[in-house]
Amino acid sequence: MENISSSSSPFHTSSPTVLPENTTADEDSSGLQKSMHCLSMVVYSIACVLGVTGNGLVIWIAGFKMKKTVNSIWFLNLAIADFIFTFFLPLSIAYTALGFHWPFGKLLCKLNSTIAFLNMFASVFLLMVISVDRCVSVAFPVWSHNHRSPELAARVALGTWVLALLLSSPYLVFRDTVVSSRNTTSCYNNFALSDDYTSEATQPAPAPGGPGEQPCWPKDCSELPAGSPSGVYIIQPPGLHPITVPCEAGGTDGGWTVVQRNRQSTGISWAESWSTYKHGFGNVHTEFWLGTEYIHQITQQKVYQVRFLIWDASNNMHVADYSLFSVEDESQGYRLRLGTYSGTAGDAMDSKNPRKVHNNMKFSTKDRDQDTYRGNCASRYGGGWWFSACYSAQLNVKGHITWGSLCKGNCKASAILIKPAPCC
């Protein structure tokens, strides 16, 4: 099985201090990335406003107010190329603002990329033609005076547009959209000419029995080959498409599939809809929710156990293990089932207080209230969770991670890991 990311997970269970040591570096990297994204949106916005208005003004003057000359034709075509490019910049601004989620469909994905390269080729070719025109005018003034005309310039400009369009046309063919396991759509270059395509870079090793058999992905992280490092891998539970998950695979206590990670300083709001929680969201390399439906599908394969990792207000890691773990299907509200507790974090999931118990509770979100509270716990406190009325533990929340009496709203981080129970 090929490891997609060889870097170790920051939630490695064998080292309680890994998360605190990496928190600053991860936050700095995430902060720098967000700053660059914000800067790019500001630059795009300025370019859009100035480009559309400025080039629109040039088009109006050169196309409708000035006498048609060779120079006015050159500048008119340059302005048209830049106007089209800047006119489509709001799509790139929105794509960046939405965390590189493309909601505009496949046609605009193809068109947006084609326009960008059409502008590049047309601008370069027109600037080259202008340079050649100037050179000819100086080197052959008599010939230029007799033959240089607006009609010839218009035909040359049309030729540059045709050539630029031909060179940009591959993006109309190969640009495509794909929906990830986190329910986000990406606009990318797909050089496959068939939908039945799998990259060799992500192919698993052939199944035992020879090359004639179909290869298969592991069903969860416990089926990774011995010696596999922790990182992000592709798994495929039966009846489900391949999905990417972080695996805690190192050491004698490996084989864990990570289904949730959160930090106090997360950029994720966690106040998502039922559909978003169902299919998952976030970034598997940082903070994320794998997806309630995917967690359900994984836990239907075998009898599973779960490990909750909690980093308290002092960055000390605590463990809460439950001998059994399953999530029922959507028709049952993704009800949570837990076994016997052991660990150092305290039993916050199976509280003796019926108003704060989470075991045997259905999953609730802001748009689907399935808790036992007279209101909606998810709307009131934020995030999706197995609420009762309302909670003793809440890990899917922005800035107020809570686990029983260990840390009430000031936990530094959390992670949820599952793997087959040792008895089965």
153 and 224 belong to one structural domain: no
203 assigned to some structural domain: no
Long-range contacts of 405-411 (CB under 8 A, 24+ apart): 405/346, 406/310, 406/312, 406/318, 406/345, 406/346, 406/348, 407/310, 407/312, 407/313, 410/264, 410/313, 411/264, 411/310, 411/311, 411/312, 411/313
The pLDDT profile of the chain, 424 residues, written as one tens digit per residue, is 444 443 343 444 443 333 344 444 444 555 677 788 899 999 999 999 999 999 999 999 988 988 889 999 999 999 999 999 999 999 999 988 888 888 998 899 999 999 999 999 999 999 999 999 999 999 999 988 888 999 999 999 999 999 999 999 998 888 888 765 455 678 878 775 444 433 333 334 334 334 444 457 899 999 998 888 999 999 999 888 889 999 998 666 789 999 999 999 998 999 999 999 999 999 999 999 999 999 999 999 999 999 999 999 999 999 999 999 999 999 999 999 999 999 999 999 997 788 899 999 999 999 999 999 999 999 999 999 999 999 999 999 999 999 999 999 999 999 999 999 986 5
Cβ-contact 11, 261 below 8 angstroms: yes
Please check whether residue 91 lies inside any domain of the structure. yes
Distance CA 186, CA 198 (A): 17
114 and 249 share a domain? no
Do 275 and 389 lie in a common domain?
yes
Classify residue 393: in a domain, yes or no. Answer: yes
| Shared domain check, 71 and 156 | yes
Q: Does residue 232 share a domain with residue 122?
A: no
Q: Are residues 180 and 221 in the same domain?
A: no
CA-wise closest residue to 364 among 278, 286, 302, 268: 278
207 occurs within a structural domain = no
Residue 201 lies in a domain: no
Q: Tell whether 129 is covered by a domain.
A: yes
Which two tokens mark 112?
Answer: 């947006």
- 174 and 258, same domain (yes or no): no
Same domain, 180 and 226: no
Residue 181 sits in a domain whose CATH number is 1.20.1070.10
How many domains would you assign to the chain?
A: 2
Q: Is residue 378 in some structural domain? A: yes
282 Cα distance to chain centroid: 6
Rounded distance between C-alpha atoms, residue 373 and residue 354, angstroms: 11
Instruction: Please indicate, yes or no, whether residues 257 and 390 belong to a single structural domain of this protein.
Output: yes
> Is residue 122 included in any domain, yes or no?
yes
Are the C-beta atoms of residues 283 and 202 closer than 8 Å to each other?
Answer: no
Residues 156, 229, single domain; the answer is no
φ/ψ of 305, rounded to 5, equals: -115, 165
Structural domain including 40 reads 18-189
Judgement on whether residues 327 and 285 belong to the same structural domain of the protein? yes
Residues 227 and 327 in one domain: yes
